[in-house]
Amino acid sequence: DIQMTQSPSSLSASVGDRVTITCQASQDIANYLNWYQQKPGKAPKVLIYDVSNLETGVPSRFSGSGSGTDFTFTISSLQPEDIATYYCQQHDNLLFTFGPGTKVDLK
Amino acid sequence: EVQLVESGGGLVQPGRSLRLSCAASGFTFDDYAMHWVRQAPGKGLEWVSGITWNGGSIGYADSVKGRLTISRDNAKNSLYLQMNSLRPEDTALYYCVKDRERYGNYYFDQWGQGTLVTVSS
- 3-state SS of B79-97 is EEEEECCCCHHHCEEEEEE
Q: Mind listing the pLDDT tens digit for each residue in A4-38?
A: 999 999 999 999 999 999 999 999 999 999 999 99
Specify whether the CB–CB gap between B59 and A94 falls below 8 A.
yes
Tell me what pLDDT residue B27 has. 98
Average pLDDT, chain B: 97
Tell me what pLDDT residue B105 has. 84
Which candidate from A34, A43, A93 shows the least CB-CB separation from B95? A43
Tell me what pLDDT residue A100 has. 98
Q: Mind listing the pLDDT tens digit for each residue in B78-109?
A: 999 999 999 999 999 999 999 999 998 899 99
Average pLDDT over residues B113-119: 98
Give the C-alpha separation, A90 to A36, whole Å: 11
Q: Mind listing the pLDDT tens digit for each residue in A82-95?
A: 999 999 999 988 89
Contact B107 A43 (CB under 8 A): no
Radius of gyration over alpha carbons of chain B, in Å? 13
Average pLDDT over residues B64-75: 98
Tell me what pLDDT residue A1 has. 87
Position B114: which residue type? G
- Which residues of chain B are within 8 Å of residue A46 when distances are taken between CB atoms? 107-109
Specify whether the CB–CB gap between A87 and A36 falls below 8 A.
yes
Distance from CA of B113 to the nearest CA of A (A): 6
Percentage of chain A beyond pLDDT 90 is: 96
Position A48: which residue type? I
Which candidate from A32, A92, A100 shows the least CB-CB separation from B44? A100
Specify whether the CB–CB gap between A87 and A39 falls below 8 A.
no
Average pLDDT over residues A41-70: 97
Strand partners, A104: A11, A84
Average pLDDT over residues B28-45: 98
Average pLDDT, chain A: 97
B26 Rama class: left (phi>0) / alpha (psi -120 to 50) / beta:
left
In a mutational test of the A interface, the residue from B45, B51, B63, B105 whose CB has the highest number of chain A CBs within 10 Å is B45
In a mutational test of the A interface, the residue from B63, B65, B97, B108 whose CB has the highest number of chain A CBs within 10 Å is B108
Distance from CA of A16 to the nearest CA of B (A): 27
Q: Mind listing the pLDDT tens digit for each residue in B18-36?
A: 999 999 999 999 999 999 9
Tell me what pLDDT residue B83 has. 98
Give the C-alpha separation, B68 to B52, whole Å: 16
Residue A76 pLDDT greater than 90, yes or no: yes
Distance from CA of A41 to the nearest CA of B (A): 9
Tell me what pLDDT residue B104 has. 84
Contact A43 B114 (CB under 8 A): yes
Nearest Cα to Cα of residue A76 among A19, A30, A32, A29:
A19
The model's confidence at residue B8, banded by pLDDT at 50, 70 and 90, is: very high
DSSP-derived pairing of the beta strands B10-12 and B115-119: parallel
The DSSP symbol for A78 reads -
